[in-house]
Amino acid sequence: METDSDSGGSHISATPPRCQNPPSPPPPQTNTLSSSNSKVRVNPSHLSETKKPTKSKPSQPAPPTPPPPPSDSTPLPTLPFQIRRSFSQNPSISAFNSLETLPAGFCSRLASFTKIQKPSLRFENDQSLPTPSNPQGINGIKSDAFAKKKKQINLVSVDVPLPPAKLRKCNGEGNFVRLNLNNNKRKFANKGKRNKSFRGKLSYRRSKKKLNKNETESKGAEDEYGLIIENLEQNQKNRRAAGELELVEDAVRAVKDEASNENLGRLLRLVYGYDSFRDGQLEAIKMVLDKKSTMLVLPTGAGKSLCYQIPAMILPGLTLVVCPLVALMIDQLRHLPPVIHGGFLSSSQRPEEVAETIRLIQVGAIKVLFVSPERFLNADFLSIFTATSFISLVVVDEAHCVSEWSHNFRPSYMRLRASLLRARLNVECILAMTATATTTTLRDVMSALEIPLSNLIQKAQLRDNLQLSVSLSGNNRMKDLLMLMKSSPFTEVQSIIIYCKFQFETDLISRYLCDNSISVKSYHSGIPAKDRSRIQELFCSNKIRVVVATVAFGMGLDKRDVGAVIHYSLPESLEEYVQEIGRAGRDGRLSYCHLFLDDITYFRLRSLMYSDGVDEYAINKFLCQVFTNGMNSHGKLCSLVKESASRKFDIKEEVMLTLLTCLELGEIQYLQLLPELNVTCTLNFHKTTPTLLADKDKMVATILKKSETKQGQYVFDIPTVANSIGATTIDVSNQLLNLKMRGEITYELKDPAYCYTIVEVPSDFCALSAHLTKWLSEVENCKVRKLDRMFHAAVFAVDVCEKMHGCNGSLHTPCLQKNTLDYFRGDDNCDVPNKIGQSSPFLRADIKVFLQSNLNAKFTPRAVARILQGIASPAYPSTIWSKTHFWGRYVQINFQVVMEAAKAELLNFAGKDVL
Ligand SMILES: Nc1ncnc2c1ncn2[C@@H]1O[C@H](COP(=O)(O)OP(=O)(O)OP(=O)(O)O)[C@@H](O)[C@H]1O
């Protein structure tokens, strides 16, 4: 089985990899929704399909064409941020972005802002502005700016000001400038604002246009008339906005004077248009304004974002929001109310975009900044924050990711420990937010972030408007699904999300539903990002009724009227279940959540829970490589090429990262991680001969010494060169870029690697490997327990509860709610009965045959057990090993039992690597 990247960025103890290899289509069967078939026999053929090869293409050297040298006078002439340079000529505008510092005469300046804003409102449609056909535009904005603006989601510009109107009712339009750049400017800028009479005039204009096709004179007059109306409309809006902004200004001042319920309520009404706070919101906002670090646990869709947005308006410094996924950041950014200027930093941005965002932070033009936890590896990022651009609040969104006992642990979240935040960023207050955390997870998160137990705000983690049901399903789940979709209440529901475990399933199901006249699209991380956002857009605008998706869909999706969520496959934990059903009924209306339960999915998922495990022996070898690399080079740069190391030690890349992070952030700091880098450089010289250039440039001289030459190209390792000249990898990259800009060289980088410097070499490798192995195995067991709890809750609903807890027929809301809430509130460490087999009479014999038929291969017990359970690993990829008919044959037997049997059989084989 191949890993599917739809794990939402999860790592070792998080969501296990998704399987991409399709099982054989289920044979036709007659069971219906009610005729369940819980005793599913495992059919090995379902588990041994051919896998899609994931081999990466060897990269080709770039054609050696030197780029044209740029002009000195215009260093980055075509960049979108050029548009905003006028900011520096008008420093007062920066104040606009901080409600904290709104100047007294602010509103009177609004008129001049709108003068600038007018062209930007018309940016897309106005022929006088740059378009692909008119690249220059009246303002001389070049076509590149036009072409690139779509990408500039975080362009919170200071001379393209806030939207003049729309202070009331935050409707997800977010910051105007960002939305401009999302290609929807016009739509958003005017959305819902034109009054009836204006619409009437527009349609009058349109119909007139049709009638008088050739009457150009009257058309011109009509356009002029339209423009006058539009300008009047705009002026009115600006006046309204000025008035409303003044009110917001007043309300902010009032809250700063006294954070009373009344003052906060007024601000809520003005900025969001909501009448009252929801449960938990006011409490959380007040705690944060009191600078008390807080743990906030509210159900999905309960309005957690507002709990940092309001403080961001009041607090003097920046609010830094840490999000696990870029998509989530962008989504949150879009949902900021227009009065709060936001930005984000991510590795997907171009250096110029990052530089511009940093500049805006430094001039105080950004109030809320979204970053990924990986950003904390970057020394440049940490150095942005100074006495003038300081952080008032750090928000840890999806805070459960901090804990390895959560369903979605991310090692990079370990970087968010309070001690580190305080030491590096001088952070006073932390707000941690989640919708799904067990007591164990909460304790862990609060301890890492040093949040006192008394500062926990926790409300029930399930909303009452979700009607929950489960049904057993056998071999023809697709047919069951179709029947469900064609029955009440699902037929009446406008928007439905169907969650599947594997990418191939989403495509298969969406084809099947399409064939049965249902408007549907599939969504998973294998689909190009552009298409994914299009699908999300179509779904949000009700142009597609159903989305069949993996876990990749939904995080941050705030479509209020999703009426149903169907789980085609069992979720991996109750946390995942709650997150996903939480996409339904965000408008508070009754919504339907159905789960199909089948044993095969459970067995397969349970096997996958073991795909991250590592043997002590492998960890020991890994540690040797990590530290022997730099035995004599304390403080020097070291790197570990991800792909080759992963294959060599048979450890997944995410697990290697987890281990390295533990070595950095554990009790003893053994190393310091640096940003990841492509470390192998293949370089061509163009203008000057290499030796002549080496005479003038120390780095080039070192490159010549440290390179291998292949067909006239110089191939070298960036950290090696950096170490030799006593520079950082960033310095080397910058110098290379500089030479490239001068037309001297072209180069290509490959081999993504983890980079680090060694702080201390461990004194006892064996003890350290034992410790890390034990930890990884505890994390693995925790994941297995979570899956068992999910399975148990679903089985209980269909098999056991029968009219207990008020359940009725196929509706299981009371018992599922109870089981879920008990799980979140109680001890999640306890084992529950499971269906997994503990022995098989043929197991040992099959292992023996398997080993005999693969005498040339070297196996560990774990490797054998993985193959028998159909789990791919870096050294035993499914492309090769799924061809054996033993692949996945023992998926229904406990992994540990299979591993023990493999160990015993391996011991009988002399010459094998037995552990
Ligand atoms: N006091 C309120 N009154 C009415 N609607 C509100 C209120 N607070 C927030 N909302 C709305 O509720 C919706 C969900 O808010 P938000 O996205 O912040 O939820 P969330 O708790 O972060 O959910 P998730 O965990 O699923 O991301 C938004 O549309 C938001 O505008």
Given this model, what pLDDT does residue 739 score? 93
User: Whole-angstrom distance between the N-terminal and C-terminal Cα of the chain?
Assistant: 25
Closest to 84 (Cα-Cα) out of 188, 180, 165, 170 = 180
Ligand 1 centroid distance, CA of 154 (Å): 22
Cα(586) to centroid(ligand 1), Å: 8
User: Taking 60 as the threshold, does the pLDDT of residue 79 lie above it?
Assistant: no
Check whether 187 has a pLDDT greater than 60.
Answer: no
- Residues of the chain with pLDDT > 90: what percent? 42
Check residue 721 and give its pLDDT: 93
**558 CA from centroid of ligand 1 (Å):** 8
603 Cβ inside 6 Å of ligand 1: no
Atom of ligand 1 minimally distant from the CA of 274: 3
305 CA to centre of ligand 1 in angstroms = 7
The residue whose CA is least distant from atom 1 of ligand 1 is: 277
- Report the nearest-CA residue for atom 23 of ligand 1: 301
- Mean pLDDT lowest among 16-25, 276-285, 591-600: 16-25
pLDDT computed for residue 233 by the predictor: 62
Is 301 near ligand 1, meaning CB less than 6 Å away? yes
Read off the pLDDT of residues 817-863 as tens digits, 9 standing for 90 and up: 888 888 888 766 666 777 777 778 889 899 999 998 888 888 999 99
634 against 20, higher pLDDT = 634
For residue 281, the model assigns a pLDDT of 96
- The reply to whether ligand 1 has any atom less than 6 angstroms from the CB of 308 is no
In 759-908, DSSP assigns E strands to none
- Cα torsion 396, 399, 403, 407 to 10°: value is -150
The pLDDT of residue 533 is 83
The encoded tokens of residue 319 equal: 């609010």
| Average pLDDT of the residues of the chain | 74
Q: Are the C-beta atoms of 505 and 535 separated by less than 8 Å? A: no
Adjacent-strand bridge partners of 499: 549, 567
Contact 360, 177 (CB under 8 A): no
Task: State mean pLDDT over 705-728.
Answer: 91
Identify the sign of the CA torsion 239, 240, 242, 243.
positive
pLDDT tens per residue, range 292-315: 999 999 988 889 999 999 999 999
Average pLDDT of the segment spanning 187-211: 34
Average pLDDT over residues 148-161: 32
How far is ligand 1, taken at its centre, from the CA of residue 560, in Å? Answer: 9
Tell me the angle at which helices 718-725 and 698-706 cross, rounded to the nearest 10 degrees: 130
Ligand 1 atom closest to the CA of 277, numbered from 1: 1
Measured distance CA(304)–CA(457) in Å, rounded: 11
> Residue 305: CB within 6 Å of ligand 1?
yes
For ligand 1, atom 28, the nearest C-alpha belongs to 303
Alpha carbons 814 and 588: distance in angstroms, whole number: 18
Q: Tell whether the model's pLDDT for residue 60 goes beyond 50.
A: no
Q: Which of 269, 272, 395, 579 to mutate to test the pocket of ligand 1 (most atoms within 8 A of CB)?
A: 272
Long-range interactions of 227-236: CB distance < 8 A, separation 24+:
229/198, 229/201, 233/193, 233/194, 233/198, 234/114, 234/118, 234/121, 234/164
Confidence of residue 237 (pLDDT cuts 50, 70, 90): low
Q: Does ligand 1 come within 6 angstroms of the Cβ of 703?
A: no
CA of 278 to the centre of ligand 1 (A): 9
Report CA(174)–ligand 1 centroid distance (Å): 14
Determine the pLDDT at residue 910. Answer: 56
304 CA to centre of ligand 1 in angstroms:
6
What mean pLDDT do residues 242-258 have?
86
- Cβ 278 under 6 angstroms from ligand 1: yes
pLDDT at residue 377, rounded to an integer: 78
pLDDT at 810: 66
Please state, in angstroms and rounded to a whole number, the distance separating the CA atoms of residues 279 and 56. 50
Q: Alpha helix locations (H) across 258-363? A: 261-272, 281-289, 306-314, 326-334, 351-362
| Residue to mutate (ligand 1; options 558, 560, 562, 589; most atoms within 8 A of CB) | 558
Rg, the chain, Cα only: 30
Nearest to 815 by CA among 798, 789, 797: 797
pLDDT tens digits, residue range 345-393?
987 788 788 889 988 998 888 999 999 888 887 777 888 887 677 899 9
Ligand 1 centre and the CA of 303: distance in Å? 3
Burial code (b: 16+ CB inside 10 Å, e: under 16) for 311-343 equals bbbbbebbbbbbbbbbbbbbbbbbbbbbbbbbb
Asked whether the predicted pLDDT for residue 419 surpasses 90, the reply is no
Q: How confident is residue 498, by pLDDT bands cut at 50, 70 and 90?
A: very high
> Rounded to the nearest whole angstrom, what is the distance from the C-alpha of residue 281 to the centroid of ligand 1?
10
Cβ atoms of residues 626 and 671 within 8 Å: yes
ipTM: 0.98
Cβ of 298 closer than 6 Å to ligand 1, yes or no, is yes
- Tell me if the pTM is above 0.80: no
Give me the residue label for tokens 């599939």. 522
User: How much is the pLDDT for 366?
Assistant: 93
Contact 209, 201 (CB under 8 A): no
pLDDT in tens, 620-658: 999 999 987 555 566 788 899 999 999 999 999 999 999
Q: Which atom of ligand 1 is nearest to the CA of 583?
A: 26
User: How much is the pLDDT for 383?
Assistant: 84
Range in 460-474, 567-581, 764-778, 860-874 the model is least confident about: 460-474
pLDDT digits 0-9 by tens, 329-343: 888 898 899 899 999
CB 306 less than 6 A from any atom of ligand 1? yes
Residue nearest to atom 25 of ligand 1 (CA): 300
pLDDT at 289 exceeding the cut of 70? yes
Summarised one tens digit per residue, pLDDT across range 90-132 is 333 332 333 333 333 333 333 332 222 222 222 223 233 233 3
- The per-residue pLDDT for 181 is 26
| Ligand 1 atom closest to the CA of 281, numbered from 1 | 1
pLDDT of 27-40, one tens digit each?
A: 333 333 233 333 32
Look at residue 499 in the predicted model and tell me its pLDDT. Answer: 96
Testing ligand 1's pocket by substitution, the residue of 304, 310, 333, 583 carrying the most ligand atoms inside 8 A of its CB is 304
The string over 849-873, giving b where at least 16 C-beta atoms fall within 10 Å of a residue's C-beta and e elsewhere, is ebbeeeeebebbbbbbbbbbbbbbb
pLDDT at position 826: 74
Res 101: pLDDT: 34
How many other CB atoms are there within 10 angstroms of residue 412's CB atom?
22
pLDDT confidence of 699, banded at 50, 70, 90? very high
> What confidence category does residue 282 fall into, taking pLDDT thresholds of 50, 70 and 90?
very high
- Could you say which DSSP state residue 319 is in? E
- CA angle, corner 870, sides to 869 and 875, nearest 5? 110
Residue among 297, 305, 459 to mutate when testing ligand 1 (max atoms within 8 A of CB) = 305
The model's confidence at residue 268, banded by pLDDT at 50, 70 and 90, is very high
Give the residue, out of 586, 587, 589, 591, with the most ligand 1 atoms within 8 A of its beta carbon, to mutate for a pocket test. Answer: 586
Cβ of 582 closer than 6 Å to ligand 1, yes or no, is yes
Confidence of residue 911 (pLDDT cuts 50, 70, 90): low
Q: Does residue 300 line the site of ligand 1, with CB under 6 A?
A: yes
Mean pLDDT on 177-193? 31
Q: Judge whether residue 174 has pLDDT over 80.
A: no
Residue 243's pLDDT band, with cuts at 50, 70 and 90, is low
Q: Which atom of ligand 1 is nearest to the CA of 278?
A: 1
- Centre of ligand 1 from the C-alpha of residue 227, in Å: 38
> Tokens for 284?
């959380």
Q: Angle CA(717)–CA(722)–CA(724) in degrees, nearest 5?
A: 100
Nearest atom in ligand 1 to the alpha carbon of residue 276 is 1
User: Higher pLDDT residue, 509 or 909?
Assistant: 509
How many Cα atoms occupy the beta-carbon half-sphere of 24 within 13 Å?
Answer: 9
Q: Who has greater pLDDT, 212 or 903?
A: 903
Tell me: pLDDT of 676 over 80.
yes
What spacing in Å lies between the alpha carbon of 288 and ligand 1's midpoint?
18
Model confidence at 18: pLDDT above 90: no
Nearest CA to ligand 1 atom 22: 304
Question: What pLDDT does residue 226 have?
Answer: 52
Instruction: Using pLDDT thresholds of 50, 70 and 90, give the confidence band for residue 457.
Output: very high
At 829 the pLDDT is 67
State the Cα–Cα distance between residues 122 and 805, nearest whole angstrom: 59
Find out whether the beta carbon of 333 lies less than 6 Å from any atom of ligand 1: no
Distance CA 484, CA 496 (A): 12
Asked if residue 481 has pLDDT above 70, the reply is: yes
Q: Name the band, by pLDDT with cuts 50, 70 and 90, for residue 232.
A: low
